[in-house]
Chains A and B, each alone.
Chain A
Amino acid sequence: MATKVKESAAVATTSSKNGGSLISDDKLKQLYATMLKCRLMEEKALGLKKMARFKGNYYAAVGQEAAVVGAAIDLRPEDAVAPSHRDFITNFVKGVPLDAMFSQLYGRVTSPDKGRCAPAHCGYAPLNIITPSSTIAAQLNIGTGIALANKMLKNDNIVVAFSGDGSTSLGFWHEALNFSAVHDLPIIFVCQNNLWAESVPIRLQTKVEDISLKAQAYGFPGITVDGNDVVAMYRVAHEAIQRARSGGGPTLIEAKTYRWYGHSSIDPAKYRAPEEVEAWKTKDPIAAMERYLTQRNLFTPAWKQQMIESFGKELDEAVDFAEKSPQVEPIECLDHVYSFDIRGRELDRKTRAPKYQK
């Protein structure tokens, strides 16, 4: 078992830029393009929300794209993702069709959960994305169980479990890390430390400077990364994924980052100083990557513009698909409670117990 690996954000950034040749040009461009699309998607979702085109609340990760994209871009379909409430975009990175994602926002019959969860709480069984609950850190523990099963089944599938700084105060968070360590499970814990758990600042959440330090208590590597540097995130995640796949056990990656907007679409986030928000906006992960690609002659404004236009069209089509999709039937409220149907039981109050099937 490796001891703690600690890498400062500055070092991670520098090393990524010096050693960028390890990552192909195509991958670098893909990282940028995916972040840009995530941003466009969430700005679109927030715009629709503002116009009250869908109900409920939206939890945007705008500003945090590098942490998600860097960690999840190379996952296989068989790998599981355990998203938190703010990780709608993990679905896109993993390859979920836009039609399904926007149907999720609209709660239509075409959504993966047929209108059950909050708009941003999107899961997708075909790509092994756990449908999120709102109880914080619960996804880590379920992800840990998937990792345990992967180990038992002797496959090389892994789990990437996302959480935020607030979740680290919960017992669940620690139970997941501890159990994963004891059994050397193939799981990567990506903690997006965006400095605020709703309105509570990090200094009221934990005494330690770096959340990655907490991995040391469980006996596996914890690494702090500049979560706004997608190349650094990608390199660290790549290494963690390889360790996990080869039976090396879990890794905790702390991505220091910042959410540009409120906790949710109804939170004006007045608890944060405007100067702090503006300072972090200058560290925009997409703009940073744009500069990096420009230095390497991998970027042109025309390429970006072309992407904005073509992806914008895809988004419009997805919105159109969602808006034209039927609402769920009211009676579907009674479905998917058990493996057997309860409609009859609820409607005429007979027991209607199912026959037992072997």
Chain B
Amino acid sequence: MPVSYIEAIRTGLAEEMRRDERVYLIGEDIGIDGGAFKATQGLIEEFGPQRVIDSPLAEGIIVSSSIGAAMIGMRPVAEIQFVDFITPAMDAITQQAAKLRYRSAGTQTCPLTVRVCYGGGTGGGLYHSQTNTTWFAHEPGLIVVAPATVADAKGMLKASIRQDDPVLYFEHKRLYRTIKEDLPDGDDFIADLFHAAVRREGKDATLVTYGYMLQVALQSAEKVEQETGATIEVIDLRVLNPLDRDTILDSVAKTSRLCILQEDHRTLGIGSEISAIVAEDAFDCLDAPILRVAAPDVPAIPAAEPMEQFYMPNVEKTCAALHKLLQY
């Protein structure tokens, strides 16, 4: 039976909590209410309020208390209801979680998972739509993942919980109920946390993306092939930090053309880093300048639909970039 992205998250959490009693959840509205998007619905009934903690409205302590608990052996899964509200936890994430292992020379560590709901295109406006993945992709010490498929939503979450590092797990709110997949049975279903995946084979250009934009990328690749016959290789980054350079470079070596599609705004987004990697390490392979399809450099996503549509990368914009890339 096909399951949705959000069901995959819920069952992933439940399976890990059954498997390991050190796993607990903490966040705003995750208990009695089952989460703002119902990702944790039913878990407080099964595991009780000691393991599904309705936290005070304070993102800082949600993450920083998880760091301390993880230090002495717990496996916390903290939830940030919207990434737009993650800023009070920035010290906890970037100065504490990312640096604890380093500053203690590996003697103190914090294996925690922070589930972060992100992404636009739902009319959420400035503070319920952001894609701030880059803030964390820039921080060595953090693993940053952004599952784009249902299988990854579950498998990468379970892998994150078992990983001995702090993991930021970015879940796109627009994927929660829009994609469904059949999943393998059994609770040992774990996804790899370190490699990008080729979601569509192609030989004429490489399109690199992550998160909800994978849907846009796949549709764009399909459309361009129908229009031109050119085949586009679509890479789902899956992991934003540390980046899997090899999968990108291998693909560019094959296609000689690269486009990066990101929901984040343009400047110093993940596309900038990927462009630099390819320019440094695969310059000789390129037959065309690298292109980026990204949101404009405005502070956040406006709520009004015309402006939101202007802001969001989409199939039309991506196809235009791919045509330009192929015609160069």
- The answer on a CB contact under 8 Å between B246 and A125 is no
Residues of B within 8 A of A182 (CB): 56
* Interchain Cβ contacts within 8 Å, total number: 166
> Assuming A123-B104, A141-B64, A142-B64, is B162 touching A338 (CB within 8 A)?
no
Interface string of A139-182 (1 = CB under 8 A from B): 00111111111101100000000000000000110011011001
Residue of A whose beta carbon sits closest to that of B99: A133
Docked Cα-Cα span, A345 to B64, in Å, equals 29
Q: Closest A residue to B142 by CB, please name it.
A: A338
> Would you give the 0/1 interface string for A111-145, flagging 1 where the beta carbon is closer than 8 Å to chain B?
01110110001010100101101010010011111
Q: Given A145-B71, A337-B101, A351-B247, check contact A178 B106 (CB 8 Å).
A: no
Interface size counted on chain A using CB atoms at 8 A: 48
> Any chain A CB within 8 A of the CB of B17?
no
Report the minimum CB–CB distance from A330 to chain B (whole Å): 15
Interface: A202 (CB within 8 A): no
Q: How far is the CA of A138 from the CA of B109 in the complex (A)?
A: 16
With beta carbons under 8 angstroms apart, the residue of A147, A150, A350, A356 that contacts B245 is A350
Tell me the A326-342 residues at the B interface (CB within 8 Å).
335-339, 342
Are B68 and A144 within 8 A (Cβ)? yes
Is B224 an interface residue when CB atoms closer than 8 A count as contact?
A: no
Is chain A's binding surface mostly helix, strand, loop or mixed?
Answer: loop
> Does A354 lie at the interface of the complex (its beta carbon under 8 Å from any beta carbon of B)?
yes
In the complex, which of the residues B50, B60, B74, B102 contacts A141, with contact meaning CB atoms closer than 8 Å? B60
> Does A349 count as interface, using CB distance less than 8 angstroms?
yes
Given A133-B99, A342-B242, A349-B245: A149 touches B108 (CB 8 Å cut-off):
no
Q: Which residue of B lies closest to A123 (CB)?
A: B104
- Known contacts A148-B68, A351-B245; A171 and B88 CB within 8 A of each other: yes
Is B38 located at the chain interface by the 8 A CB criterion? Answer: no
> Judging by beta carbons under 8 Å apart, are B163 and A339 in contact?
yes
Task: State the CA gap A193–B67 with chains docked (Å).
Answer: 27
Of B124-132, B174-182, B188-196, B287-295, the one touching chain A: B188-196
CB neighbors of A among B29-64 (8 A): 50, 55-56, 58, 60-61, 64
Please provide the chain A residues from 37 to 71 with a CB less than 8 Å away from any CB of chain B in the complex. none
Contact call A116/B66, Cβ cutoff below 8 A: no
Does A358 have its Cβ within 8 Å of any Cβ on chain B?
yes
- Residue pair A179, B71 in contact (C-beta under 8 Å): no
A337 adjacent to B140 (CB under 8 Å): yes
B105 touches A336 (CB 8 A): yes
Known contacts A141-B64, A356-B190, A113 near B105 by CB under 8 Å: yes
Q: Are B104 and A133 in contact (CB under 8 A)?
A: no
CB distance from B227 to the nearest CB of A (A): 33
**A347 CB–B CB distance under 8 Å:** no
User: Given that A116-B105, A141-B65, A175-B61 are known contacts, is A353 also in contact with B244, CB under 8 Å in the complex?
Assistant: yes
Instruction: Determine if B109 and A339 form an interchain contact, defined as CB atoms under 8 angstroms apart.
Output: yes
CA distance A147 to B99 in the complex (A): 21
Q: Are A131 and B68 in contact (CB under 8 A)?
A: no
Partner of A146, one of B72, B111, B140: B72
Instruction: Select from chain A the residue with minimum beta-carbon distance to B250.
Output: A351
Instruction: Kindly identify which residue among A141, A175, A339, A353 contacts B164, using a CB–CB cutoff of 8 Å.
Output: A339
Are A146 and B105 in contact (CB-based, < 8 A)? Answer: no
**Separation of A336 and B92 alpha carbons in the complex (Å):** 18
Task: With both chains docked as a complex, state the minimum distance between the C-beta of A277 and any C-beta of chain B, in angstroms.
Answer: 33
The complex places the Cα of A287 from the Cα of B316 at a distance, in Å, of 79
B107 interface contact, C-beta 8 A? yes
Contact code string B55-93 (vs A, CB < 8 Å = 1, else 0) = 110101100111111111110100000000000100110
A124 (CB) vs chain B CBs: closest residue: B107
Partner of A336, one of B76, B106, B281: B106
- Quick one: closest A residue to B107, CB to CB? A125
Is B95 part of the binding interface, using a Cβ–Cβ cutoff of 8 Å?
yes
Please give me the residue from chain A that is nearest to B192 by CB atom: A356
Q: Is B6 an interface residue (CB 8 A)?
A: no
Contacts A353-B195, A353-B244 given: A138-B92 contact, CB under 8 Å?
yes
Contacts of A338 in B (CB 8 A): 101, 141, 143, 165, 242
Nearest chain B CB to A322 CB, angstrom units: 16
Given contact pairs A349-B281, A353-B194, A337 touches B102 in the complex (Cβ within 8 A): yes
Q: Is B323's CB within 8 Å of the partner chain A?
A: no
Q: For residue A354, which residues in chain B have a CB less than 8 angstroms away from its CB?
A: 194
B199 within 8 A of A: no
Give the chain B neighbours of A133 by CB distance below 8 A: 95-96, 99, 103
The answer to the question of B24 belonging to the interface, with a C-beta cut-off of 8 Å to chain A, is yes
Residue in B68, B71, B88 with the greatest tally of chain A CB atoms within 10 Å: B68
B274: interface (CB < 8 Å): no
Inter-chain CA distance A171–B90, complex, in Å, is 13
Residues of B within 8 A of A141 (CB): 60-61, 64-65, 67-68, 92, 96
Question: Taking the complex as formed, is B100 at the interface, i.e. its CB lies under 8 A from any CB of chain A?
Answer: yes
Which residues on the B side are within 8 Å of A353 (C-beta)?
A: 194-195, 242, 244, 246
B contact residues around A337 at 8 Å (CB): 101-102, 140-141
CA distance A80 to B103 in the complex (A): 17
The reply to whether A125 and B108 contact each other, CB–CB distance below 8 Å, is yes
Q: In this complex, which of A125, A335, A356 has the most chain B Cβ atoms within 10 angstroms of its Cβ?
A: A356
Q: How far is the CA of A351 from the CA of B58 in the complex (A)?
A: 37
A-facing mask of B237-249, CB < 8 A → 1, else 0? 0000011111100
The answer to whether B106 and A176 have CB atoms under 8 Å apart is no
Known interface pairs A128-B72, A131-B103, A153-B73; 9 further A-B residue pairs with C-beta atoms within 8 A, sorted by A's residue number: A114-B105, A133-B103, A145-B67, A153-B74, A179-B55, A337-B102, A338-B141, A339-B109, A351-B247
9 closest pairs, A vs B, by CB?
A145-B68, A141-B64, A353-B194, A145-B65, A125-B107, A339-B164, A149-B69, A114-B105, A336-B106
What are 20 A-B pairs with beta-carbon distances under 8 A?
Answer: A116-B103, A121-B103, A125-B108, A130-B108, A131-B108, A133-B96, A138-B91, A142-B68, A144-B64, A145-B65, A145-B67, A145-B71, A145-B76, A149-B68, A153-B73, A178-B61, A182-B56, A336-B104, A351-B246, A351-B247
Residue ranges of A at the interface with B (Cβ–Cβ < 8 Å): 80, 112-114, 116-117, 121, 123, 125, 128, 130-131, 133, 135, 138, 141-150, 152-153, 171-172, 175-176, 178-179, 182, 335-339, 342, 345, 349-351, 353-354, 356, 358
